[in-house]
Structure 1
Amino acid sequence: MLNDKSVLVTGGTGSFGKAFVRTVLERYPDIRRLVIYSRDELKQFEMAQVFPRSEHPALRYFLGDVRDEARLRRALEGIDVVVHAAALKQVPAAEYNPFECIKTNVLGAQNLIEGCLDAGVARVVALSTDKAAAPINLYGATKLCSDKLFVAANNIKGTRDVRFSVVRYGNVMGSRGSVIPFFLAKKAEGVLPITDPRMTRFNISLREGVEMVLWSIEHASGGEVLVPKIPSYRIGDVAMAIAPECEHRIVGIRPGEKIHEEMITASDSFNTVDMGDYFAILPVSAEYTIEDYCAKHGGTPVEPGFAYSSGTNPDFLSVERLRELIDEHVAGQVID
């Protein structure tokens, strides 16, 4: 699929970018170019120690910011596939610096769309978040806006052979700043501050996220928001899995947080298709009908009023399973 193709990853030095690069280099040895586009020179230097160009001649480390339209257009020259992972995603920072978040997550998304249309890119997959569904914080609102931009980009492509799609998933297990490495760091102090033990979150591994993006590159029709079927966990269970011997101190939820996250709202149900491993939220103004999409991908429309929430998810991780996953994916490392 990606052999003899040129691929650009925005935010390529982040946790997803590194996992994606590792998988692509292993699976597609004849890839023509794999461009890491990001603004942090130190992270690029560190990544180059793990993936040196001497061993991977297809790699390019390209300094730039998605806010910089001219630089982005230069990076997109000759690119066939784009994976958009660049974002400002810290909720408190976005609340305090709202327009900075907007400039990266919204204006940066539009810069990328315009550049892809002009550069002749064939496939674009943008990463989203569960916080974009019925958002209550600025970060979620900017990602919802970004999702809408990528979906609507299919309306302005004209005769170009390009497809824009979105992949939306939940918390990546062990990502920096998330609850699991936070609890692991606090364990030595003997006290774990817990917002609310009832709080639930979706859980996905980096490997699962990468596989979903690769599936989207190959199969997406364009305009859909793809949502994986993944398990949930309770924050209280995470605390028990990591440090049952510690004091679990309830500190209350923070501004901008929900008790439960959603990835599909009831309002989305009328345009949502169940495809087995994934759901697809289809655009209202698509070139295809829901029936066409179901026939192509073997899907089935969900029932009206269906919603996909971490709180009502039928698949929950037990304390024992959480402990196993933490040992497998997180123990001894914190994903950047």
Structure 2
Amino acid sequence: MTLEGKNVLITGGTGSFGKAYARHILENYNLNKLVLFSRDEQKHYVQKREFSVWGDKVQLVIGDIRDRDKVFEVCRGMDVVIHSAAMKHMPMAEEHPMEAIKTNVLGSQNLIDACVFHKVKKVVALSTDKAALPINVYGGTKLLLERLFITANAQHGENTSFAVVRYANVFGSKGSVIPLFMKLKDSGELPITHPEMSRFSITMDEGIALIQFAIERSLGGEIIVPIAPSYKVGDVAEAVCPSCEKKIIGPRVAEKMHEVLVSEFEAKQTIKAGHYYLILPELGTKDTDAYIKHYNNARRVALNEYSSGTNADWLSIEDIRRMIAQL
């Protein structure tokens, strides 16, 4: 599906991703209308001024994904919906698990119901590597989001196509370790969970390309996973401040040593298309051959698990330093 002439809704539209993706599609597609939906009125105020150059084509709507009536209202007339609204601060989710459930799970179901009711053609949800073998509340709620979307596609995919993209860490994004280290480097000491702790890494541009791939190519029901390099936390600290003392503080509550983008349980139903792995649904009417045919460059892969700790592709200290300079 192309975005040309379409009505597009982004939930969480004033967040880091929502804002970057909105700007990208406004600059590259002739949309009919773009609606940015979020509950942060201060971000709405700032973003409305920044996006004023596009005039009435952009509408900023204050509302909460938990508010079922508001979600039904904002989905009316949409052709494409990108679902990025989430409670994603891991420690806060651990302290307030029900709040994470209300936003990430119940809010997602509100959106699914609204998209089915209004016959939205394409819906893409943002998930996270923490949904694969989750050990924390945030990952658990995102796993449930994935299952809700896969089930929705199995039940309603003939009219509304649902797909999921499973994100890796966006390099230098708000809340990541890089801004923290940059802020603390003048103190002469950087707190490190563990120097060998690893994470997958994608850039914001690669994240945007991932969403575009899902909109343009997804058949429905699949989880699309980027094939990405890993980095070690110790290498990030060294890249930011070689002269700083590295103080090992240990992992946070419910934090993994290494992240997983495709678990061993999902590997058997995973194919590869270009720069992406596609985890195929076990629910629905389409089999593996149908997805391979749809993605004409797809193939089956011998994959046991796709983990940041056993990845074949790594960012060096110099790679990390160069990427930080480009932020």
Task: Give the TM-score category using the shorter length.
Answer: over 0.9
Matched residue type, 1:7 = V
Q: Are 2:150 and 2:283, in contact at CA under 8 Å, matched by a contact in 1?
A: no
Matched residue type, 2:66 = R
- The aligned counterpart of 2:27 is 26
Matching of residues 108-187 of structure 1 within 5 Å: 108-157=107-156, 160-187=158-185
Q: Does the C-alpha gap of structure 1 residues 307 and 55 become closer, same or farther in structure 2, counting only changes over 3 Å?
A: same
**Distance across 2 between alignment mates of 1:10 and 1:72:** 9
- The aligned counterpart of 1:51 is 51
**Distance across 1 between alignment mates of 2:65 and 2:315:** 37
Q: Secondary structure at the match of 1:124?
A: strand
- The aligned counterpart of 1:42 is 42
**Distance across 2 between alignment mates of 1:172 and 1:67:** 26
**Distance across 1 between alignment mates of 2:294 and 2:154:** 21
Shift of residue 169, structure 1, vs aligned partner: 1.6
Aligned-CA RMSD value: 1.0
**Which of 233, 246, 250 is the aligned partner of 1:252?**
250
Matched residue type, 2:48 = A
CA offsets 1:139-193 (integer angstroms, 9 cap, x no match): 00000000100111012217x5210000002111111121000000010111000
Q: Secondary structure at the match of 1:37?
A: strand
Shift of residue 57, structure 1, vs aligned partner: 2.7
Shift of residue 286, structure 1, vs aligned partner: 2.7
Shift of residue 287, structure 1, vs aligned partner: 2.2
Matched residue type, 1:248 = K
Q: Secondary structure at the match of 1:284?
A: coil
**Distance across 1 between alignment mates of 2:161 and 2:208:** 18
**Distance across 2 between alignment mates of 1:328 and 1:74:** 40
- The aligned counterpart of 1:272 is 270
Q: Secondary structure at the match of 1:267?
A: coil
- The aligned counterpart of 1:91 is 90
Q: Are 2:119 and 2:160, in contact at CA under 8 Å, matched by a contact in 1?
A: yes
1:8 aligns with 2:9: yes
Q: Are 2:166 and 2:223, in contact at CA under 8 Å, matched by a contact in 1?
A: yes
**Distance across 2 between alignment mates of 1:327 and 1:161:** 45
Shift of residue 120, structure 1, vs aligned partner: 1.2
**Unaligned segments of structure 1, at least 5 residues:** 330-336
**Distance across 1 between alignment mates of 2:252 and 2:35:** 37
CA offsets 1:55-93 (integer angstroms, 9 cap, x no match): 343100011111000001000110000000000011110
**Distance across 2 between alignment mates of 1:156 and 1:223:** 10
Shift of residue 230, structure 1, vs aligned partner: 0.8
**Distance across 1 between alignment mates of 2:40 and 2:96:** 20
- The aligned counterpart of 1:196 is 194
**Distance across 1 between alignment mates of 2:237 and 2:284:** 44
Please, what TM-score do these two structures have when normalized by structure 2?
A: 0.97
Shift of residue 295, structure 1, vs aligned partner: 2.1
Q: Does the C-alpha gap of structure 1 residues 24 and 56 become closer, same or farther in structure 2, counting only changes over 3 Å?
A: farther
Moved over 2 A (4+): 54-57
Shift of residue 289, structure 1, vs aligned partner: 1.3
Q: Secondary structure at the match of 1:156?
A: helix
Shift of residue 317, structure 1, vs aligned partner: 0.2
- The aligned counterpart of 1:292 is 290
Q: Are 2:128 and 2:167, in contact at CA under 8 Å, matched by a contact in 1?
A: yes
**Distance across 1 between alignment mates of 2:134 and 2:308:** 15
Q: Are 2:235 and 2:317, in contact at CA under 8 Å, matched by a contact in 1?
A: yes
**Distance across 1 between alignment mates of 2:54 and 2:159:** 33
Percentage identity across paired residues of the two chains: 47
- The aligned counterpart of 1:17 is 18
**Distance across 2 between alignment mates of 1:286 and 1:301:** 19
Q: Are 2:34 and 2:57, in contact at CA under 8 Å, matched by a contact in 1?
A: yes
- The aligned counterpart of 2:259 is 261
**Which of 227, 233, 236 is the aligned partner of 2:234?**
236
**Distance across 2 between alignment mates of 1:48 and 1:296:** 39
Shift of residue 292, structure 1, vs aligned partner: 1.8
**Distance across 1 between alignment mates of 2:288 and 2:125:** 22
Matched residue type, 1:66 = I
